[in-house]
Structure 1
Amino acid sequence: MNAMSRAVAVGLLAALVQAVMLIAFAWPATNIGPRDLPVAVSGPAAGTVAGKLAEHDREAFEVTTVADEAAARTAIEHRDAYGAIVTDSGQPRVLVASAASPVVAQQLTAIAQQLSGAPAAPVQDVVPADPDDPRGTGFGTMVLPLVMAGLAGGVLLSLLVTTVGGRLVGLVSFGIAAGLLSMAVVQGWLQLLPGSFLTLASIAGLVSFAVAGAVAGLATLIGPPGIGIGALVMLLIGNPFSAATSAPELLPKPWGAIGQLLPPGAAATLFRSVAFFDGNGAAAPLITLLCWSAFALLLLGLGALRPRRQAPAAEPVAA
């Protein structure tokens, strides 16, 4: 292949990547809607409300009937439900948790008001979002910089540090520094998340380590193509399906669930659980991030064991 043909091929490949990225980012955003969204109902009219929800969209909600309003609140606080419709006092009332997802809270409020027939059904936010970020806009945009910084860290370590031990030390240093600095900005300056600074910084550091480690580990094992693979997985799949601006149950199936198995989605869920829900629902995303970190260490180890190519010996030059 001559230089001109190679240039055309590279241009076409770049255009194809651009088209795929447009689909990956735009398609989930244009198909937002409830899919098996966990909702609790209680009170004398719980069965009627559940039936109306099923009539509205049979696949939209996963309805659970609980004993009373207190149980509904507990389900929301434990992240077993995004909201509830309670009829304990006769008139339907809506309980939401904007901290779990402002988009879900708005949709659930609108749907519940339509079902109740009352244009102004009482709504209570059981677990509100941070007052400095009531719509969750800042929270939703927080995940992408963490992922991109992790990618940048992994690429720099892969290109500038040649030894596996050096890359590991760099990853640990990057994770600690990135966690502390990012939370100094997010919590100290922007005030987007409540809770313990050190706990949230540890989560940010773990996310940074997992993303950068996956990239550096793939590069160590298979060479430069590993950088591209890591970037595609984290940025092209992980970020648009992270549900950081919505909720996994609002994305098309099975992409919402797949997104939670990647660091960006796990990071968003873990931050929400720790900052707003006292750690409820944090186990699954924490395990996901720990598994990615362990995967990164495994890749580095396998890369260290891989035999390195010997440089060809120079032929002797005649005197």
Structure 2
Amino acid sequence: MSTPRRRISSLGLAIVLAGALIQLVLGVYYLAMAHAPHPHHLPVGIVAPASQRAAIVPSLEAGGSFDVHVYASAKGLTSAIQERKAYGGVVLDQKGATLYVASAASPAVSNLLKNLYVQEYDRRLAASVAKATAGGRPVPATTVTALTKPPKIVDLVALPADDSAGSSLGFMIQALSLGASIASMALGQLGRRTSRSLQRGLGHAALLVIYAALSAGVALLAMSAFGVGRSADHGGLFLAYGLVSLAITASTAAAVSLVGRAGALVGGLYFTLGLIISGSSIAPEMLPRAGRVVGQLLPPGAGASFVRDRLYFSGASDTTELIVLSAFAGVGLLIVIICNLRGGLAASAEPAGGAHSAREVP
């Protein structure tokens, strides 16, 4: 016969094993997603004559690391970078070679492109020096000047001094996701104090919207305190943060309405699993394909892209991100209202059904 002490020991052992298993799963997941980020079909551009493209493009696209898009002019390439259609690109013309990057899109990708560019530049420089000094002939001064010129690199959308590492976006999305998850769970528990009804559903939805607006304001306040996003459109940032917060809170609240307290795990999954594949700290194209695709279809990922564009890339198209965030927010609010409405209708019908049954019993 089992004693209370044995039952407690068994429960304790089960908790210890469950904790170790969760740690194992999370550790494997995090390492699989981000232990060694490298490009997967990362979009870049090139402006160069066909003969030079033929020598460069195949090596870049080998292995699926880069997707190289050809542009007719430097203006077309720079516009694509400023609209976040490409992370960078090179222009080869009569003036020489110029690399264009946008460190605000991803410091890691920007550094990767710079390193590749400098390596290729040094390789060509060594070949030019060997050719110029072949046979012991004197090298003209103009040739020496041309050979000693540093590689030209232009950062079209640079990170501001107050966010030189580009980490602010990741921190803000992390804080917003955690706060929104906690708020949605707390509001769900508060709703249990009253019976389900349309009024309760509308009230719950209204509180989620109010929290999203407050959350956006707090995010802007925190950023302003450290000088991040000074030149950004604060109105657009407010709407972006608010929509991200609402997408997380509404979808978590909807899960709680459908399955009870277990639905709160949705908010936990956003934080523990969704953040690392959100692209807020690691560019989506540096993640494995599954992580990249799934990450951008979740509120933290779509939100990170949407907020980044509001911060640094005002000309970028955010259609996909808006659809994802609006779907999570809109469907989530609708489920919260419908679940409360159905509960209210069932509660109002129960007394009548009970009275009818009572009359049928002799």
Q: Which residue does the alignment assign to 1:299?
A: 335
* 1:23, distance to aligned residue in structure 2 (A): 2.8
Tell me which of 53, 57, 67 is aligned to 1:46: 53
Q: Which residue does the alignment assign to 2:213?
A: 176
Aligned counterparts, 1:211-250, within 5 A: 211-232=248-269, 234-250=270-286
* 1:244, distance to aligned residue in structure 2 (A): 0.8
1:89 aligns with 2:94: yes
Determine helix, strand or coil for the equivalent of 2:99. Answer: strand
* Counterpart residue identity of residue 129, structure 1: L
Q: Which residue does the alignment assign to 1:203?
A: 240
* 1:118, distance to aligned residue in structure 2 (A): 5.5
Q: Which residue does the alignment assign to 1:151?
A: 181
- Indicate conservation of the 8 Å contact 1:221/1:306, yes or no: no
* 1:229, distance to aligned residue in structure 2 (A): 3.3
Identity of aligned residues (%): 28
* 1:24, distance to aligned residue in structure 2 (A): 3.1
Q: Deviations over 1:205-246 (max 9, x none)?
A: 1111111111111111110110123322x1232111011112
| Distance 1:245-1:229 versus aligned 2 partners, 3 A rule | closer
Determine helix, strand or coil for the equivalent of 1:39. Answer: strand
- Indicate conservation of the 8 Å contact 1:53/1:115, yes or no: no
* 1:130, distance to aligned residue in structure 2 (A): 2.2
Aligned counterparts, 1:32-111, within 5 A: 32-44=37-49, 45-54=52-61, 57-89=62-94, 91-111=96-116
- Indicate conservation of the 8 Å contact 1:43/1:88, yes or no: yes
Q: TM-score, normalised by structure 1?
A: 0.89
Q: Deviations over 1:136-158 (max 9, x none)?
A: 02222221111001111111111
Q: Which residue does the alignment assign to 2:165?
A: 135
Q: Which residue does the alignment assign to 1:316?
A: none
Q: Which residue does the alignment assign to 1:317?
A: none
Rg comparison, structure with higher value: 2
- In structure 2, the gaps of 5 or more residues are 126-149, 193-199, 355-362
Q: TM-score, normalised by structure 2?
A: 0.79
Q: Which residue does the alignment assign to 2:32?
A: 27
Q: Distance in 1 between matches of 2:100 and 2:160?
A: 17
- In structure 1, the gaps of 5 or more residues are 314-319
Q: Which residue does the alignment assign to 2:140?
A: none
- Indicate conservation of the 8 Å contact 1:69/1:88, yes or no: no
Q: Deviations over 1:111-156 (max 9, x none)?
A: 1222332584211101112221122022222211110011111111
Tell me which of 16, 22, 44 is aligned to 1:17: 22
* 1:89, distance to aligned residue in structure 2 (A): 2.9
Higher helix share: 2
